[in-house]
């Protein structure tokens, strides 16, 4: 292993374990860089925090796309294909690592890294709940410290060499992608492919939420994006109803109503979800609110209430029969 070498950046030291091949790649804006990484503490045991090889999926970042941990772009730009190197970085470069790690872990667990259904940003959520959801990351968040990154550079692709996914787009490109994803979600919904439709709606929501974080809350540009987000969440909830995910519908619609109490469709979908889980009183309250907000829906609401009362009556008769047989 070579001695530590400088990278012309304060607070970073590099040691090469295995030299790569060829010339330094061209790390131009928009290039996709694929690499494996291991993150370690600087303690006596070199405690491993994250390891992409254990997850089984290499890391990908897009150069110039404002990745939270900016120092990684600098580290990667010093490497050749196939090179394995260790980088020591002081706390000025590692402060945001717990947030980055949380997102990567959520992706590995098959969860949404952006928590798009929440109406506050990731930092606000962190301070509200005092936790990132992982004990070791909470500790690292409270006491920032230098970290060691062991990186193996696998490949560098120019923007023309790969199809960029929505997370890799800039803000303008994300906004252009939203109506396409929205339309595709609607088409899949009509075909009865509800799970596929939710994926399209979710992807569009992530694009909008990422753009919205750059705007000031409740100002005109932010509100325009919020209106688009609300529409997509309601479409998403319609899919969930068809998929019989009633409690998730209740969660999302309740969140929407708390922030936007005039959304008729949110009350209507929540009423239907409440009806499906036998919350008759809550369902009727929501149906009444729908009519208060939009009297033109009274006919449809009356039909829904009749269906609910019939189902409740059938349920009551079934329960009476069950208890009768039990004690006969």
Each residue of 205-262: pLDDT tens digit? 988 988 898 888 889 999 999 999 999 999 999 999 999 999 999 999 999 999 999 9
Structure tokens at 200: 């399209």
Question: Is-contact 215 226, C-beta < 8 A?
Answer: no
Contacts with 13 (C-beta within 8 Å, 6 or more apart), sequence order: 4, 5, 6, 87, 88
* Residue from 64, 88, 81 nearest 3 by CA: 88
pLDDT of residue 124: 40
* 289, 267 Cβ separation under 8 angstroms: yes
Residue-level pLDDT at 61: 86
Strands 84-89 and 12-18: antiparallel
* Token pair 């062991």 in the structure block, residue: 150
Pull the structure tokens for residue 125: 């959520």
* Token digits of residue 68: 């939270």
**Domain segments of the chain: what residues?**
12-161, 166-294
pLDDT, residue 162, reads 64
Place of tokens 């990154």: 149
**Tell me, what's the pLDDT at 107?**
74
> What pLDDT is attached to residue 119?
38
Task: Give the pair of three-digit tokens for residue 170.
Answer: 């800039």
pLDDT of residue 214: 84
- Separation of alpha carbons 232 and 204, rounded Å: 8
The answer to whether the beta carbons of residues 229 and 205 sit under 8 Å apart is: yes
Rounded mean pLDDT for each run of 10 residues along the chain, 328 residues in total:
62 92 88 94 94 90 76 92 96 91 80 46 42 88 94 90 66 87 94 94 90 88 94 96 95 94 95 93 95 94 92 81 67
**pLDDT score recorded for residue 161:** 72
Neighbours of 64 (CB within 10 A): 14
* Distance separating alpha carbons of residues 301 and 315, to the nearest angstrom: 21
**Domain 12-161 indexed as CATH 3.10.50.40:** yes
Task: Give the Cα separation of 222 and 209 in Å (integer).
Answer: 10
* pLDDT score for 6: 55
Written as six digits, the tokens of 89 are 């970085």
Q: Which of 156, 15, 149 is nearest to 71 (CA)?
A: 149
User: Is residue 3 classed as helix, strand or coil in its secondary structure?
Assistant: coil
- Please report the pLDDT score of residue 226 as a whole number: 94
Q: What is the pLDDT of residue 117?
A: 40
What is the CB neighbour count within 10 angstroms for residue 56?
7
CATH superfamily of 166-294: Tetratricopeptide repeat domain (1.25.40.10)
Distance CA 146, CA 94 (A): 7
The three-class DSSP label of residue 15 is: strand
Q: Which of 19, 20, 21, 17 is nearest to 3 (CA)?
A: 17
Alpha-carbon gap, residue 308 to 279, rounded angstroms = 10
């Amino acid at each position: 292993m070579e001695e530590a070498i400088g990278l012309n950046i304060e607070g970073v030291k590099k040691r090469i374990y295995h030299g790569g091949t060829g010339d330094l790649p061209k790390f131009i804006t928009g290039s996709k860089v694929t690499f494996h990484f291991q993150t370690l503490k600087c303690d006596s045991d070199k405690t491993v925090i994250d390891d992409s090889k254990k997850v089984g999926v290499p890391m990908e970042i897009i150069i110039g796309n404002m990745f939270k941990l900016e120092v990684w772009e600098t580290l990667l730009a010093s490497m050749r294909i196939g090179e394995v190197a260790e980088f020591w970085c002081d706390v000025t470069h590692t402060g945001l690592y717990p947030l980055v790690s949380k997102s990567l872990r959520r992706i590995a667990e098959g969860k949404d890294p952006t928590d798009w259904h929440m109406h506050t940003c990731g930092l606000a959520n962190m301070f509200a709940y005092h936790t990132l959801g992982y004990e070791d990351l909470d500790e690292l968040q409270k006491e920032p410290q230098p970290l060691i990154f062991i990186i193996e550079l696998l490949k560098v692709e120019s923007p023309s060499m790969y199809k960029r996914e929505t997370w890799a787009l800039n803000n303008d490109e994300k906004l252009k992608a939203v109506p396409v994803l929205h339309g595709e979600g609607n088409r899949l919904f009509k075909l009865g492919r509800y799970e596929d439709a939710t994926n399209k709606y979710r992807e569009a929501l992530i694009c909008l939420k990422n753009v919205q974080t750059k705007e000031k809350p409740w100002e005109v540009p932010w509100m325009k994006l919020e209106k688009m987000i609300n529409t997509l969440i309601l479409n998403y909830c319609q899919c969930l109803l068809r998929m019989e995910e009633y409690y998730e519908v209740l969660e999302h619609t309740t969140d929407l109503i708390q922030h936007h109490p005039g959304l008729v469709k949110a009350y209507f979908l929540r009423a239907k979800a409440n009806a499906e889980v036998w919350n008759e009183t809550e369902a009727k309250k929501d149906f009444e609110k729908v009519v208060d907000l939009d009297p033109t829906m009274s006919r449809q609401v009356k039909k829904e209430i009749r269906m609910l009362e019939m189902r409740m009556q059938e349920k009551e008769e079934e329960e009476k029969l069950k208890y009768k047989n039990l004690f006969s």
